[in-house]
Copies of this chain bind each other. A is one copy, B any other.
Amino acid sequence: MQPSSPRSGKLGRPALLSRDVIVRAAQRILDEEGYENLSMRRLARELSSTPMALYHYVRDKDQLLLLLLKVKASKFPRPPLPEDPRQRLIASAQLLYDILADCPFLAEILASDDLLAVSALWVIENIVDASIECGCAPEQAVDIYRVIWYYITGELLVRLASGRQRASLDRPTHREKAFAALRPDSHPRLFALSARWSELTSRDSHHQGLEVIVNGLLNHQAP
């Protein structure tokens, strides 16, 4: 963080860039042009600089993305959580999802580290703690965290991908083609649901799903 702070005196000319400026510019590109347009080269252009200048402030692109998440997580409001451990477990998991839902493109990077790199550790602490207070052994609490984590990551990934796809709405998707070819004798259930499939699968039922999963987990681990 040092290189960004303008020190007293005029020891040489001031730096043109700083980590802060770089991260902010990256966030701007992300907001305005989407993840797939965020490249080191594009970022340098945004800053009227060169790609290599960035590497003075950031080790590589992954670190830049993690910095973005760090900023986002630290700005995220930290709401009061319910007292009741079961409710708190659900609320923490929901919170984790909410933070990530703001930057779903990070799913891939995050996945590699169980999210533990970032300043959202307190959320995970809450999930594990609430599970233990619900009567789980520590090992079971970690299992619960993992299931929740997989579920959240999966939903984010699917959402991200279907968002990408909606952009290219030229021809019918693979799904639409597969559904058109459905025969009632071989796939009766899917056939019956085919007309409503899109509607049914695009409903936002994240919170409900989370609740059901958590209840299922707790009933199993700590009956």
Contact = CB atoms under 8 A, between A and B. Distances in A.
A197 B149 CA distance: 14
B151 A151 contact: yes
Contacts of A175: 113-114, 116-117
A158 B164 contact: no
A101 to B, nearest CB: 13
Contacts of A73: none
Interface in A121-146: 121-122, 124-125, 128-129, 132, 138-139, 141-143, 146
Interface stretch (A15-23, A25-33, A75-83, A214-222): A214-222
A173 interface: yes
A92 B66 CA distance: 37
A13 interface: no
Contact of A128 (B128, B158, B189): B189
A185 to B, nearest CB: 11
Contacts of A114: 158, 175, 201
A66 B142 contact: no
A150 interface: yes
A177 interface: yes
Contact of A212 (B122, B179, B216): B216
Nearest to A179: B116
Contacts of A162: 111-112
A108 B122 CA distance: 29
Nearest to A194: B116
Interface of A: 66, 107-109, 111-114, 116-118, 121-122, 124-125, 128-129, 132, 138-139, 141-143, 146-147, 149-155, 157-158, 160-162, 164-165, 173-175, 177-179, 182, 186-190, 192-193, 197, 200-201, 205, 208-209, 212-217, 219-221
Given A111-B160, A150-B158, 16 more contacts: A108-B161, A111-B158, A112-B158, A116-B178, A116-B179, A118-B174, A128-B193, A138-B189, A142-B200, A143-B205, A146-B201, A147-B209, A151-B154, A153-B153, A213-B213, A213-B217
